[in-house]
Chains A and B, each alone.
Chain A
Amino acid sequence: MSEIANDASVYSVSEITRLIKKTIEGRSDFSGVWVRGEIYNFTTHASGHIYFTLKDDNAVISAVFFRSANRGLSFKPRDGMTVLVQGSITVYEKRGSYQLNVTAMQEEGIGELQRRIERLKQKLSAEGIFDPARKRPLPFLPRRIGIATSPTGAAVRDIIKVALRRYPGIGIVIAPAIVQGDGAVESIVAAIRELNQPKYGIDVIIAGRGGGSFEDLMPFSEEPVVRAFATSRVPIVSAVGHQIDHPLCDDAADMAAPTPSAAAEIVVPLKDELVMEIDYYADRLARSAGSLVEALRTRIDAAVGRRVFREPREITRRKGTELTHLESRVTAGLSARIAHARARLLNIPDMRILARTVIDRKKHAFALAIGAIEKLSPLAVIQRGYAIPSDDRGRVIRSVNDTAIGNAIDLLIRDGTLNCAVNAIIQGGIGGFDGKEKAGE
């Protein structure tokens, strides 16, 4: 900075700037002043300082919002937002500019928007749109879900991810929508309406978006959107922002989810859990089948008149006892023979071979008998391909006289029921087993 002249009326740039600075910063009404304006050229530097310009229709002013002051900011300022800032006017000599050194910032629009939402809420509430009685249950097992949201946002990814994890293969129809700013309201309404068309076969709709500023979420509190939620033919779940956000559509939807992921959790059941539940009941059915078989056994016994049907275990036991008797008799006989042989000096080893052969033969017969008994158990009988016939009133048919030619009968077989017609009746009993079960009696 060089001396220009001796003339006292000539200022140096520094001098005049210093004077300006002194004049401006010295004004008490420029300190702690409130200014309203719209933000543009908003930038946050790596240092954490925020620089922006505030403007209205006729003027602009530069503003700086230092890191130390902006740390407590509760919202994210951005271009186009109207804010109310408090600060002091300072002069930056090196650039010859003045600026607003901001110490506090409020979202100017919020207060007015909130009042508007409150008024709309009262109006719609009076119409009964938020009536809890209007809310419908969500489908238990939807085949297809509709999603009305931005196709590129985090919300659609979260919903798809959670839905496919819970129920792989579930059908999804995405209706893309602009979810904030200009055109959002109309776009969201169009997406919800489209998903409501019966041709898509949608069982439940999730409509919403991820988190954002109060203004970002505003479309979901606008009347047309709230009405679209309320009048959705298909049950609809709102999924807007985070837990703390409560747009008006939450009150109009059949259910409000705190986040898009949570909406998918609510709407899509866990397939594995359902499979487990079915298995559980099927197991219980199978266990009950045991007592059913017991009862059937009595039926079959009555029909066939054979004890072996009724008491296979007892017969097994009897066979066992019989074998024991047989063995002891053989052993006894053997002893007698041995004694006899000894007396008659006969060849003892030969006698032993003979006895073993007799026992082996009896054991073989015993094994065959056990096999037959197992096959005769009613469950095994049905498994083998036998059927239990019943008439059209569900009564078991035990005799050819219980039905008539032309009657419809049901045949219960291993894996289902056959509905049959009686074409002919042939009289005559079951002879196949006769004369073979004496040993069991």
Chain B
Amino acid sequence: MEKKKQGSDKPGRERPEKIDFEKALKELEEIAVLLEDGELSLDDSLKKFERGIALARYCRQRLEDAERKIEILQRGENGTVSSRQVSVDAETGEIENDEDLQGSLL
């Protein structure tokens, strides 16, 4: 999809990568409704269809595009704050084997 150039200059056809998930989902819904109404010309329908497919793909990708990272902030001896990755038990939410868990950033 990165290689795709068409449409980027047209209003309402910004590339899905640049819009946020909520807008993409909303537009996808609008396109589904629009196509079902069947009042667009064939060319417009094709364009919308193509756009809808791209949006659905983008939305799915965005959902899979998760960080899977849990970090805890801590203040070092020189006073700067850094983040450290920790593992948690997803069932209990417990932060696992973390001996040097600091109680406060201060």
Contacts and interface: CB of A to CB of B under 8 A. Distances in A.
Contact of A172 (B6, B38, B71, B94): B71
Interface in B18-71: 20-22, 25, 28-29, 31-32, 35-36, 38, 42-47, 49-50, 52-54, 56, 59-60, 62-63, 66-71
A157 B69 CA distance: 15
Interface stretch (A74-82, A140-148, A343-351): A140-148
Given A152-B101, A172-B71, A190-B106, A390 B56 contact: no
A168 interface: yes
B91 to A, nearest CB: 7
A67 interface: no
A169 interface: yes
Contacts of A282: 28, 52-53, 56
B105 A187 contact: yes
B93 interface: yes
Interface string B68-94: 111111100000010100101011111
Interface string A127-159: 000000000000011011000001110001111
A174 B71 contact: yes
B56 A281 contact: yes
Given A176-B101, A191-B105, A292-B42, A160 B67 contact: no
B46 A150 contact: no
Nearest to A195: B73
B43 A178 contact: no
A284 B73 contact: no
A177 B104 contact: yes
A224 to B, nearest CB: 13
A387 interface: no
Contact of B6 (A152, A157, A162, A410): A410
Nearest to B59: A278
A143 to B, nearest CB: 6
B105 A174 contact: no
A175 interface: yes
A186 interface: yes
Given A169-B67, A171-B66, A285 B56 contact: yes
B60 to A, nearest CB: 6
Interface stretch (A88-96, A108-116, A269-277, A305-313): A269-277
A383 B89 CA distance: 46
Nearest to A284: B32
Contacts of B104: 176-178, 183, 187, 190-191
Nearest to A282: B56
Contacts of B20: 140-141
Q: How large is the interface on B (under 10, 10 to 19, 20 to 34, 35 or more residues)?
A: 35 or more
Contact of B4 (A170, A289, A417): A417
Nearest to A395: B43
Contacts of A151: 72, 95, 101-103
Nearest to B58: A278
A402 to B, nearest CB: 13
B25 A277 contact: yes
Contacts of B92: 157, 161
A285 B4 contact: no
A375 interface: no
A183 B70 CA distance: 26
B56 A161 contact: no
Contacts of A408: 6
B47 A394 contact: yes
A173 interface: yes
Given A175-B105, A292-B42, A169 B66 contact: yes
B68 A169 contact: yes
Contacts of A194: 73, 81, 105
A200 interface: yes
A278 B73 contact: no
A186 B106 contact: yes
A144 B73 CA distance: 14
B32 A288 contact: yes
B52 A174 contact: no
Contacts of B106: 178, 183, 186-187, 190
Listed from nearest, the 5 A-B pairs whose CB atoms lie closest are A169-B66, A161-B93, A171-B67, A288-B35, A157-B93
Interface of B: 1, 4-6, 20-22, 25, 28-29, 31-32, 35-36, 38, 42-47, 49-50, 52-54, 56, 59-60, 62-63, 66-74, 81, 83, 86, 88, 90-95, 101-106
23 contacts: A143-B66, A143-B67, A156-B95, A162-B93, A165-B90, A171-B66, A171-B69, A176-B72, A177-B104, A190-B104, A191-B105, A194-B73, A278-B60, A281-B28, A284-B36, A288-B45, A288-B49, A292-B35, A396-B43, A396-B46, A416-B54, A417-B4, A419-B4
